[in-house]
Chains A and B, each alone.
Chain A
Amino acid sequence: MQISGAQMVIEALIAEEVEVIFGYPGGAIMNVYDAIYQQSSFQHVLTRHEQAAVHAAEGYAKASGKVGVAMITSGPGFTNAITGIADAYMDSIPLVVISGQVPMSLIGTDAFQEIDAVGISRPCTKHNYLVTDAKDLARILKEAFYLARTGRPGPVHVDIPKDVTAQIASFDYSKEVELETYKPTVKGNMRQIKKAVEAIANAKRPLLYLGGGVISSGAAELVREFVQMTQIPAVETFMARGTLHHADPLLISMLGMHGSYAANMAMSETDLVIGLGARFDDRVTGKLSEFAKNAQIIHVDIDPASISKLVNAHFPIVGDVKNVVESMMVLAKEQVDPLRYGPWHNTIAHFNKLHPLSYTEEGDRLKPQWVVERIGQLLGDDANISTDVGQHQMWTAQFYPFSRPRQWNSSGGLGTMGYGFPAAIGVKRADMERVSVNITGDGSILMNIQELMTAVEYKLPVINVILNNNFLGMVRQWQTMFYDKRHSQTDLSIQPDFVKLAESFGGVGYRVTTKEEFDAALKDAVEKNVVAIIDVVVARFENVLPMVPAGGSLFNMMLEYKDK
């Protein structure tokens, strides 16, 4: 088949069964946009900023389990997109990002809207390509999708010069991907798995440490069964929320800097950590030398570079979590006695009782934690929850009653303010049946507020709930605690009228100060089914607790903070 490079991009997307892409046109990518105009196989969602296009693709990928696709032009289009690409890299989200580039003859001449895109994306992509000849496009695009979704998933960037999109060449997408240098280990080493299961059978206080890899490998169901069968309690990382049902008595909650007392204590007391698809991030471990000090470590991960990177694993198992847990199940059924952990369950119950996740109501001001809980009571499983980054994000991770994998969608590794709203648009596009809620802050929401227009145009009604404390809350919290209350540049008292703002784009807005008003606003927004902002006035100086100060030991939690 002899077609243009631009047409090849379309044909590849069709062959990959892509149903939607998120993007923003510009000079260098115009040939491809011309081809998009002339096809009807997939939808193009025009976001109002390139960063938002990538975040929307991320949200779509996380909610659907498919590869997200974003398209942007060269130069500023690409540099705007890089935050999204870096975000996807940190959180292992499968994306293919296609960018235009200036024509080959102009590369290196400081041409208009030229930037060394592959040079910039190299350290924050799983792999990237500069396409120099249209005859390579079929192979490269096929490899890009393959690399994005296999092994440890991640973003792959394909940069295509404008003359290559105009070039006519032959196109054959049927060839299998052949990458001699890329062969991820999927199946775990059986000898190691046997040893690991023996260790589980002999442990007195084993603890499952579940990471985002459980969800991305599609192993959540299996892990639920494993927990049921073995009666081993579990903690979830921030990325793994929703792996176990919130009501599962064996789920202790989230661990880490803002983890629950019980989760962090369990990690400190366990004699065997069973890490599945988690990477011992510094926000999880606190002080490394004190982390799970009494424990042996089983570490299952698809990425060999994650194993023993920070915490030395006694039983390293490279492989896909789903595959490895399947093998473990067979052995564990015979060897692990689910009745032997009674005393351990009692210890954890004691921790839970001692300091449960909680907050206190005081005065008339709404507590942000109440708002999160209330959304959970009213929408529960019917909502997919995205967040931005900051206090609201941690309160949501702590207090929302998650009931299934892929219900939760937030920027973990990179911590990108402005992620939530566009990502929630992508989530909505992937799951039209459910309500897409973005729980956000008064700081974060303004970082991609222009996406109101996208949500209106494409009828992707996201409900943005702003936990408004007139502060850049998380930074304010650190300033209060560690900088002697010098609230440098974090007071956000000057604000737009969020109700009018939403209305000016064609959405609906609510300003809420009481519980009754909140209930009414949320119900109305769900009914109206258009993009909404619910601006909730919450207690200004509320802190996210418990808190393990950066670099502190996990068992040394600040459980309350008394204002001096």
Chain B
Amino acid sequence: MEQARRVISVIVLNEASVLSRIAGLFSGRGYNIESLTVAPIPDSKYSRITIVTAGSIKVVEQIIKQLHKLIPVLKVYEHADLVEKEMAMVKIPLSESLSDIEALAHAYNGRIVNVGSDTLIVMVADEPMRVGHFLEAIKRFHPKEIVRSGSVAMER
């Protein structure tokens, strides 16, 4: 069956243990989570969890139903038409060319956000695929550390 990348948003009650219920549902069935982000929704008692996973339509349908079944889950969406963004930060030795790095980051909606005594930190925010491209390109500047945030998504 066709294994496609899926982005699922889950609106949950903001309470202890809710994340483990969600994660447990995936792990207990052997479904993989590619990325997961979670943060409270402002002025409400809910949080939004964005999960990127892979699977056939049938598997994802089943995941969505099982997510719905969890008591603290309010809504589950599988996104079809969405705007998806991800952020990444990269630590680079100061010996590299600052202007080259700045130019590269700029192409991916980013910039240098911190300069320390021997390293700098550059961040970008873009579509996950483009963040991947950026991380490929940044390799030539000998990155010491890379952090990706995981996807956040919004229906168009």
Contacts and interface: CB of A to CB of B under 8 A. Distances in A.
B73 A130 contact: no
B71 interface: yes
Nearest to B27: A123
A118 B17 CA distance: 9
Nearest to A312: B58
A309 B62 contact: yes
A305 B74 contact: no
Nearest to A179: B71
B20 interface: yes
A446 to B, nearest CB: 31
Contacts of B17: 118, 122, 130
Contacts of A182: 71
B28 A305 contact: no
Interface residues of B, number: 18
A303 B28 contact: no
Contacts of B13: 180-181
B71 to A, nearest CB: 4
Interface string B35-75: 00000000000000000000000000110011011011110
Contacts of B132: none
Given A180-B74, A181-B73, A305 B66 contact: yes
Contact of A147 (B12, B16, B66, B71): B71
B12, B17, B61, B71: most-surrounded residue (chain A CB, <10 A): B71
Contacts of B72: 181
Contacts of B65: 304-305, 309
Interface in A168-219: 179-182
B21 interface: yes
Contact of B20 (A119, A127, A181): A119
B30 to A, nearest CB: 13
A147 B69 CA distance: 12
Contacts of A305: 62, 65-66, 68-69
B74 A181 contact: yes
A279 interface: no
Interface string B1-26: 00000000000110011001100100
A126 B20 contact: no
Contacts of B12: 181
Given A180-B74, A181-B13, A181-B74, A303 B69 contact: yes
Contacts of B74: 180-181
A179 B16 CA distance: 16
Nearest to A147: B71
Contacts of B16: 130
A180 B73 CA distance: 9
DSSP majority for the B interface?
A: helix
Contacts of A309: 62, 65
B69 A122 contact: no
Contacts of A130: 16-17
Nearest to B17: A118
Nearest to A303: B69
B68 A122 contact: no
B128 to A, nearest CB: 29
Contacts of B21: 122
A123 B62 contact: no
Nearest to A129: B17
Contacts of A180: 13, 74
Given A118-B17, A181-B13, A126 B71 contact: yes
Given A118-B17, A122-B24, A181-B13, A127 B71 contact: yes
B62 A181 contact: no
Given A147-B71, A181-B13, A122 B62 contact: no
A118, A180, A181: most-surrounded residue (chain B CB, <10 A): A181
B62 A304 contact: no
Contacts of A123: 24, 28
Contact of A122 (B20, B61, B66, B73): B20
A303 B70 CA distance: 12
A155 to B, nearest CB: 13
A377 B109 CA distance: 81
A332 B36 CA distance: 49
Nearest to A122: B24
A123 B73 CA distance: 15
A181 B71 CA distance: 6
B112 to A, nearest CB: 41
B20 A304 contact: no
A118 B72 CA distance: 15
A118, A182, A305, A309: most-surrounded residue (chain B CB, <10 A): A305
Nearest to A180: B74
A186 to B, nearest CB: 16
A356 to B, nearest CB: 39
A118 B21 CA distance: 10
Contacts of B73: 181
Nearest to A184: B69
A135 to B, nearest CB: 15
Interface of A: 118-119, 122-123, 126-127, 130, 147, 179-182, 303-305, 308-309
25 contacts: A118-B17, A119-B20, A122-B20, A123-B24, A123-B28, A127-B71, A130-B16, A147-B71, A179-B71, A180-B13, A180-B74, A181-B12, A181-B13, A181-B73, A181-B74, A304-B65, A304-B69, A305-B62, A305-B65, A305-B66, A305-B68, A305-B69, A308-B61, A309-B62, A309-B65
Given A119-B20, A305-B65, 8 more contacts: A122-B24, A130-B17, A147-B71, A181-B12, A181-B74, A304-B68, A305-B66, A308-B61
Q: Which 9 A-B pairs have the closest CB atoms?
A: A305-B65, A127-B71, A181-B74, A123-B28, A182-B71, A305-B69, A304-B65, A305-B66, A181-B72
